[in-house]
A and B are shown apart, each in its own frame.
Chain A
Amino acid sequence: MSIAAESRQWPVEGLTRVPYWVYSDADVYGQEQERIFQGPTWSFLCLEAELPGPNTYRTSDLGTMPVVVTRDHEGALHGFENRCAHRGSLLCLDGRGTARDIVCVYHNWSYDLAGNLTGVAFRRGLGGKGGMPADARPESQSPRKLKVEALAGLVFGTLAPDAAPLEHYLGPEIVARIRRVMRAPVKVLGDYSQLLPSNWKLYMENVKDTYHASLLHAFFTTFRLNRLSQKGGIIVSESGGHHVSYAIAADSGGKEYEQAGMRAAREDFGLEAPELLASVDEFGDGVGLQILSVFPGFVLQQTRNSLAVRRVVPRGLEQTALHWTCFGFADDDAAMTERRLRQANLIGPAGYISMEDGAAPGFVQRAVRSAPDVLSVVEMGGASVASDDNRVTEAAVRGFWKAYRQHMAL
């Protein structure tokens, strides 16, 4: 199904309704790449720790555009399109590595780590024959360069030269909550990816939907652990596009789970190995859960002592890659690392409280494909897109659509 996006009208109800064609219209999908991912937004590219020294690179994505992120010989960060100026081949095939320059495997055109074309093989030909004319401009189709900024160990990039500076784009509340988690130099614990059978927006809505958490994810309630997330709230940025949801951990301090008496009201409902959840209040504020998202496709997650970044990358109208990188800090001791690894059982494609998030957006996709003109109802918490001291609200979901509509002019 593909009807020109110009003919698409947002429902008159505004942000409390979302039309299902946004998840199934190929023209809308194409315009998102241009107006959002390649537009004046900042996309998370990688952790600074993934570029550990001078002359290192890794590949990443700006929406569907493959990009290379580098740290040059002086330590400066760069980002550019992963596409050769010559015939358009990918420049970097490996996900990460060290290099003094980037050489395209196809015809050996070479680039410095800032993405500048520095060499064309056989440019003058061989033995006076062949080669390029003297007035050729092989650099005319060079890979597009990104503006790159690092914030507290997170590397973001944008294609828009006039994009607001990263901290302005995020706003002070989001910046503060990023700095809260990214409190020290990072140590990567590992990464994996998940292929989601849904449009990228359905996953981002799931991230911002604080209403579903205790309803879809029955792990905590089944094991009578729901007291863990009693008090909390959400923050929605002024643009609407970024959010934080947080909950106070009633058991901050980490002692209670080591006492058998705290396992559960009934022995047969408790965890047999409650050490899975034994955590420490490493941020000193009692917050046990903080999910933070940045428009369009970034998530920073603290689930107790389990920390992760997630990149949401569209792979087609109905397919999305979700790249997880779990981390701790360079100064973690062995006990802290072990805690992070155990609590990583809560997250990822096999996570006790996140496995359903891989499937639920797909359940929507399968059902709404044939109902493009029907609307979803997003009315928990009224029509507000404001911060709130409770999480039984869809304010952050409406915030996503506020930002989305502004970028898409819908």
Chain B
Amino acid sequence: MTRPRLSTTDDSTDRATRRSFLAGLGSLGFVAVGTATGRTSAATDSQSTDSQPGEGPFTNSDELEGFVDDIMAERIGTTTPGATVAIVSEDAPILTKGYGAADVDADVPVRADETVFRVGSVGKLVTYTAVMQGVENGVLDLDTDVNSYLGDSAVTVPATYDDPVTLRHLGTHTAGFESALDPDIVADPTALDPLEVVLTNHQPSRIRPPGDLVGYSNYGAALAGHVVAKAHETTFEEYVQSKLFEPLGMTHSTFSQPVPDDQPGDLAAPHVRDGDSFLAADDVYINMRPAGSLSATATDMAAFMRAHLGDGAVGNTRILDADTAEAMHSRHHVRHPAVTNWRYGFHEYGNPEVNLIGHSGATVNFTSYLLLAPDDDVGIFVGFNSNPSEGPKAVVDEIVAEYELQQAATTPTPTSRPGGQERAETVAGEYSLTYLPQSGPLQVVDLLEHLTVEPAANGRLRTTTLEGDARHWVETEPYVYDEVGGHDVLAFEVTDGEVDVLNINSEPTGVYQPVPFHERQLVTGGVLGTALSGFGLSLVGWGGHSAWRQWKQYRTDEGFDTEDSK
């Protein structure tokens, strides 16, 4: 295949820095307690462990491997010390390959079938697959109050609203729990608590009616895992081991922490950047296990993707009925028809009209991305043993673009409906994300992440962030705007001339809501700046006054001494 390589990506690819940090954080949660243990340059060895010819978009597996080798070569040693990749097509793995170093200190290469990566929130897909197994077996129901499954559990969802929280809400992150971002990550494995204790001690407030708005919740995913465990009278780890990992032959996968010594494979070391090189760091542990404690090899993730692409089965092994798999891959919550929405556990990727579904994942120093293209029977998994600003999604974006798994974006056509300038002025304002904390010191993150929308000429919009990310938008339908020079979409929901929510295609994990005037960045910054300036001037004034008095006293004393000496 000799297609020209496209540099475009599906949406607003990696507007790095704080946004990607938070996205990773939101998509799993973390805390870096990484203590550097060594220093070395990143290795760039790569090792192919499995490569078979495939069909579908990948007509030539050697060419695919060459393409992936090229894009990984750009990253190994610069973006990440190591990576693992799995690509499946037509129900068969056509590329599973490790790149770079599993541990820069030990100079151990990544092996796709042996090196275990922490996959973070990609593990939620396993959790929600387990939920769907329960639904299929009649043990669980997506629209029943989750409290009905928690009879003898210490965990109970409070009746804050008339409508109960259901498993459908948990699988689409619409339960309305306040986000804490942190899925209770600990540095010491002895600090790991039973799931029930964690869910009891870290129960968030319900701040929105269920089913209303998307607000990514690690707690919700952990609660779903707990429901699975309770309904089957076992532990979550034991359930997924016996009902998912063993049937699929995912022998190197586990939610257990630390990864047991007798677990097959070797866990890659997490890494932090140190100038031009990487340092191996200490791993951390996630208390809300079903939300992100999964460790797996690329080969195992290939098996998981094959099961989903194979209508719930790999060969003769079935983990979901075809109807159940189809139900899981269908839409369960629509934010807005013009943007990415939620399947069960999966969110849509790129153009919402194209059937691409995926999930990102991150721990403190691991990142991953899983994408399924059911219409093309293609699955892509990429994992890094580091957490750079440009993560594995960028690799997935390049593969999607190269193999045209979705059409390249076209130049947006402005709407012919009059009143564009009025609509632009209606939606102007400042917005905050629902998946960011609304209480505690982390609330400052919400302030820093505000998005400012301003009207521009000809009914266009301009959006900016504190980080200096400025983008321009053209209205293609009333209150729907396409990015100029990009692939992202803004979709406002307006009632009686007031914006209710702003949906952004590239942010499926939440929606933006208008910020009250007194919480806007300019007001907060102005008030804080004025107060601090006043305090500073007062301190300077007091210091100057005190110095002047002491100097005056000194001069007076000196005058007396001079007179005495006469």
A and B, one complex? Answer: no
